[in-house]
Protein backbone atom coordinates (compact mmCIF):
# COMPACT_ATOMS: atom_id res chain seq x y z
CA UNK A 1 0.00 0.00 0.00
CA UNK A 2 1.41 3.37 -1.00
CA UNK A 3 1.77 6.13 1.54
CA UNK A 4 2.19 9.89 1.70
CA UNK A 5 5.25 11.39 3.36
CA UNK A 6 5.35 14.88 4.84
CA UNK A 7 8.89 16.27 5.09
CA UNK A 8 10.02 19.42 6.89
CA UNK A 9 13.62 20.60 6.82
CA UNK A 10 14.17 19.36 3.27
CA UNK A 11 16.79 21.99 2.42
CA UNK A 12 19.13 20.97 5.24
CA UNK A 13 21.90 18.39 5.12
CA UNK A 14 19.88 15.41 6.36
CA UNK A 15 16.61 16.64 4.86
CA UNK A 16 18.04 16.89 1.35
CA UNK A 17 19.48 13.38 1.57
CA UNK A 18 16.21 12.04 2.92
CA UNK A 19 14.18 13.75 0.19
CA UNK A 20 16.18 11.92 -2.48
CA UNK A 21 15.45 8.63 -0.76
CA UNK A 22 11.75 9.29 -0.25
CA UNK A 23 11.33 10.23 -3.90
CA UNK A 24 12.99 6.96 -4.92
CA UNK A 25 11.03 4.85 -2.40
CA UNK A 26 8.20 2.95 -4.13
CA UNK A 27 6.09 2.82 -0.96
CA UNK A 28 5.61 6.59 -1.05
CA UNK A 29 3.31 7.76 -3.84
CA UNK A 30 3.46 11.39 -2.71
CA UNK A 31 6.15 13.37 -0.91
CA UNK A 32 4.98 16.71 0.47
CA UNK A 33 7.74 19.17 1.32
CA UNK A 34 6.68 21.87 3.75
CA UNK A 35 8.90 24.91 4.22
CA UNK A 36 10.03 28.37 3.19
CA UNK A 37 12.14 27.34 0.21
CA UNK A 38 11.30 24.89 -2.53
CA UNK A 39 13.73 22.01 -3.08
CA UNK A 40 15.93 22.27 -6.16
CA UNK A 41 14.80 18.95 -7.60
CA UNK A 42 11.48 18.27 -9.34
CA UNK A 43 9.56 15.03 -9.71
CA UNK A 44 5.99 14.03 -10.40
CA UNK A 45 5.31 12.78 -6.90
CA UNK A 46 6.93 15.78 -5.20
CA UNK A 47 4.62 18.47 -3.91
CA UNK A 48 5.94 21.69 -2.37
CA UNK A 49 3.85 23.69 0.10
CA UNK A 50 5.32 27.05 1.08
CA UNK A 51 5.01 27.79 4.76
CA UNK A 52 6.78 29.71 7.50
CA UNK A 53 5.83 26.83 9.83
CA UNK A 54 4.10 29.47 11.94
CA UNK A 55 0.95 29.45 9.79
CA UNK A 56 0.02 25.80 10.22
CA UNK A 57 -3.54 26.35 11.43
CA UNK A 58 -4.56 27.67 8.04
CA UNK A 59 -2.89 25.05 5.85
CA UNK A 60 -5.49 22.30 6.11
CA UNK A 61 -5.13 19.63 3.42
CA UNK A 62 -1.35 19.96 2.89
CA UNK A 63 -0.85 18.33 6.27
CA UNK A 64 -2.80 15.21 5.31
CA UNK A 65 -0.20 12.45 5.18
CA UNK A 66 0.75 9.13 6.74
CA UNK A 67 4.29 9.76 7.96
CA UNK A 68 6.00 12.94 9.16
CA UNK A 69 9.77 13.21 8.69
CA UNK A 70 11.18 16.15 10.64
CA UNK A 71 14.71 17.30 9.86
CA UNK A 72 14.41 20.82 11.22
CA UNK A 73 17.46 22.23 12.92
CA UNK A 74 19.69 25.27 13.11
CA UNK A 75 22.64 26.62 15.10
CA UNK A 76 22.82 29.15 17.90
CA UNK A 77 24.78 31.52 15.65
CA UNK A 78 22.40 31.25 12.69
CA UNK A 79 19.39 31.65 14.99
CA UNK A 80 20.83 34.70 16.74
CA UNK A 81 21.05 33.11 20.18
CA UNK A 82 19.38 30.51 22.36
CA UNK A 83 15.90 32.02 21.95
CA UNK A 84 16.11 31.68 18.17
CA UNK A 85 17.50 28.17 18.47
CA UNK A 86 14.59 27.19 20.70
CA UNK A 87 12.11 28.70 18.23
CA UNK A 88 13.33 26.43 15.41
CA UNK A 89 14.51 23.25 17.13
CA UNK A 90 11.72 23.07 19.69
CA UNK A 91 8.74 25.34 19.03
CA UNK A 92 8.50 24.75 15.28
CA UNK A 93 9.12 21.02 15.57
CA UNK A 94 6.42 20.64 18.19
CA UNK A 95 3.97 22.81 16.24
CA UNK A 96 4.43 20.75 13.08
CA UNK A 97 4.08 17.52 15.03
CA UNK A 98 0.84 18.63 16.65
CA UNK A 99 -0.67 19.95 13.43
CA UNK A 100 0.30 16.83 11.48
CA UNK A 101 -1.07 14.48 14.14
CA UNK A 102 -4.33 16.41 14.20
CA UNK A 103 -4.48 16.01 10.42
CA UNK A 104 -4.16 12.24 10.59
CA UNK A 105 -0.43 11.54 10.49
CA UNK A 106 0.24 8.40 12.52
CA UNK A 107 4.04 8.12 12.48
CA UNK A 108 6.77 10.63 13.36
CA UNK A 109 10.44 10.27 12.43
CA UNK A 110 12.59 13.11 13.74
CA UNK A 111 16.24 14.11 13.93
CA UNK A 112 17.46 14.85 17.44
CA UNK A 113 21.07 14.83 18.66
CA UNK A 114 23.52 12.56 20.44
CA UNK A 115 23.71 13.37 24.12
CA UNK A 116 20.18 14.77 24.37
CA UNK A 117 19.37 14.93 28.08
CA UNK A 118 17.22 17.08 30.33
CA UNK A 119 20.06 17.14 32.87
CA UNK A 120 22.82 18.14 30.45
CA UNK A 121 24.87 21.25 31.15
CA UNK A 122 24.55 22.19 27.47
CA UNK A 123 21.48 24.19 26.45
CA UNK A 124 21.34 22.46 23.05
CA UNK A 125 21.27 18.98 24.57
CA UNK A 126 18.55 19.98 27.06
CA UNK A 127 16.53 21.55 24.23
CA UNK A 128 16.66 18.39 22.14
CA UNK A 129 15.60 16.34 25.16
CA UNK A 130 12.61 18.63 25.74
CA UNK A 131 11.69 18.30 22.08
CA UNK A 132 11.78 14.50 22.31
CA UNK A 133 9.71 14.48 25.48
CA UNK A 134 6.99 16.79 24.19
CA UNK A 135 6.76 15.33 20.68
CA UNK A 136 6.47 11.88 22.26
CA UNK A 137 3.46 13.18 24.20
CA UNK A 138 1.67 14.32 21.03
CA UNK A 139 0.18 10.87 20.54
CA UNK A 140 1.50 9.35 17.31
CA UNK A 141 1.07 5.60 16.97
CA UNK A 142 4.82 5.46 16.35
CA UNK A 143 7.35 8.11 17.37
CA UNK A 144 11.01 7.58 16.49
CA UNK A 145 13.94 9.87 17.20
CA UNK A 146 17.36 9.62 15.58
CA UNK A 147 20.38 10.94 17.46
CA UNK A 148 23.34 11.66 15.19
CA UNK A 149 26.58 13.12 16.49
CA UNK A 150 28.72 15.35 14.25
CA UNK A 151 27.19 15.41 10.77
CA UNK A 152 29.53 14.98 7.82
CA UNK A 153 28.71 16.66 4.51
CA UNK A 154 29.01 19.87 2.52
CA UNK A 155 26.79 22.64 3.87
CA UNK A 156 25.70 25.74 1.99
CA UNK A 157 26.30 27.97 5.03
CA UNK A 158 29.53 28.46 6.95
CA UNK A 159 29.87 26.51 10.22
CA UNK A 160 33.54 26.86 11.29
CA UNK A 161 33.34 24.58 14.33
CA UNK A 162 31.60 21.86 12.34
CA UNK A 163 34.08 22.23 9.49
CA UNK A 164 36.94 21.68 11.94
CA UNK A 165 35.16 18.65 13.34
CA UNK A 166 34.81 17.19 9.86
CA UNK A 167 38.53 17.54 9.29
CA UNK A 168 39.20 15.73 12.57
CA UNK A 169 36.59 13.02 11.86
CA UNK A 170 39.08 10.43 10.54
CA UNK A 171 40.95 10.72 13.84
CA UNK A 172 37.85 10.78 16.04
CA UNK A 173 35.95 7.83 14.60
CA UNK A 174 38.39 5.07 15.64
CA UNK A 175 38.22 6.35 19.22
CA UNK A 176 34.42 6.13 19.36
CA UNK A 177 33.93 2.48 20.31
CA UNK A 178 31.74 0.73 22.84
CA UNK A 179 29.62 3.23 24.79
CA UNK A 180 31.21 6.07 22.79
CA UNK A 181 30.06 4.67 19.44
CA UNK A 182 27.04 6.99 19.44
CA UNK A 183 29.41 9.97 19.26
CA UNK A 184 31.05 8.77 16.05
CA UNK A 185 30.81 11.33 13.21
CA UNK A 186 28.22 10.25 10.66
CA UNK A 187 27.23 11.31 7.16
CA UNK A 188 23.85 12.87 6.44
CA UNK A 189 23.22 10.04 4.00
CA UNK A 190 23.65 7.47 6.77
CA UNK A 191 21.12 9.31 8.93
CA UNK A 192 18.66 9.45 6.03
CA UNK A 193 19.17 5.75 5.35
CA UNK A 194 18.45 4.94 9.00
CA UNK A 195 15.24 6.96 8.95
CA UNK A 196 13.94 5.28 5.81
CA UNK A 197 14.96 1.85 7.11
CA UNK A 198 12.91 2.36 10.27
CA UNK A 199 10.00 3.76 8.25
CA UNK A 200 9.94 0.50 6.31
CA UNK A 201 9.53 -1.46 9.52
CA UNK A 202 6.45 -1.84 11.67
CA UNK A 203 6.87 -0.40 15.14
CA UNK A 204 4.70 1.30 17.71
CA UNK A 205 5.32 3.47 20.72
CA UNK A 206 8.37 5.67 21.25
CA UNK A 207 11.85 4.63 20.13
CA UNK A 208 15.16 6.48 20.36
CA UNK A 209 17.93 5.41 17.99
CA UNK A 210 21.60 6.18 18.55
CA UNK A 211 23.51 6.31 15.29
CA UNK A 212 24.94 4.51 13.50
CA UNK A 213 22.25 1.85 13.98
The domains of the chain are located at 3-210
Answer whether 83's CB lies under 8 Å from 22's CB. no
Task: Compute the CA torsion angle 191, 192, 196, 202 (nearest 10 deg).
Answer: 30
Cα(first)–Cα(last) distance of the chain, in Å? 26
Q: What pLDDT does residue 171 have?
A: 52
Q: What is the pLDDT along the chain (213 residues), one digit of tens a residue?
A: 789 999 999 999 999 999 999 999 999 999 999 999 999 888 999 999 999 998 898 787 878 999 999 999 998 888 999 999 999 999 999 999 999 999 999 999 999 999 999 999 999 999 999 999 999 999 999 999 999 998 886 555 555 655 555 555 555 656 555 665 667 888 999 999 999 999 999 999 999 999 988
The reported pLDDT for the residue numbered 172 is: 61
CATH T-level fold of 3-210 = Rossmann fold (3.40.50)
Q: Are strands 46-50 and 28-35 parallel, antiparallel or unpaired?
A: parallel
Q: What per-residue string of b and e applies to 10-41 under the rule 16 or more CB within 10 Å gives b?
A: bbbbbbbbbbbbbbebeebebbbbbbeeebee
Q: What is the pLDDT of residue 150?
A: 85
Q: For residue 134, what pLDDT is reported?
A: 98
Query: What is the per-residue pLDDT for 75?
Result: 87
* Cis, peptide link before residue 212, omega less than 30° from 0: yes
pLDDT of res. 158 = 54
Helix and strand element counts for the chain (H, E): 7, 9
In this prediction, residue 140 carries a pLDDT of 98
Kindly list the distances between the CA atom of residue 210 and the CA atoms of 67, 145, 149, 189, in Å, as whole numbers in the listed order.
21, 9, 9, 15
Amino acid sequence: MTRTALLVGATGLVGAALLDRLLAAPEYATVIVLGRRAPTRTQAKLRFVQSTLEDLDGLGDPLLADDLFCCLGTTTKAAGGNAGLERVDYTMVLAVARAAQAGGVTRFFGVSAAGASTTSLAFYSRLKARMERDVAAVGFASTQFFRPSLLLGARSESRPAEALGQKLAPLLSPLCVGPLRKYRPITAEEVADAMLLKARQSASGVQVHSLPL
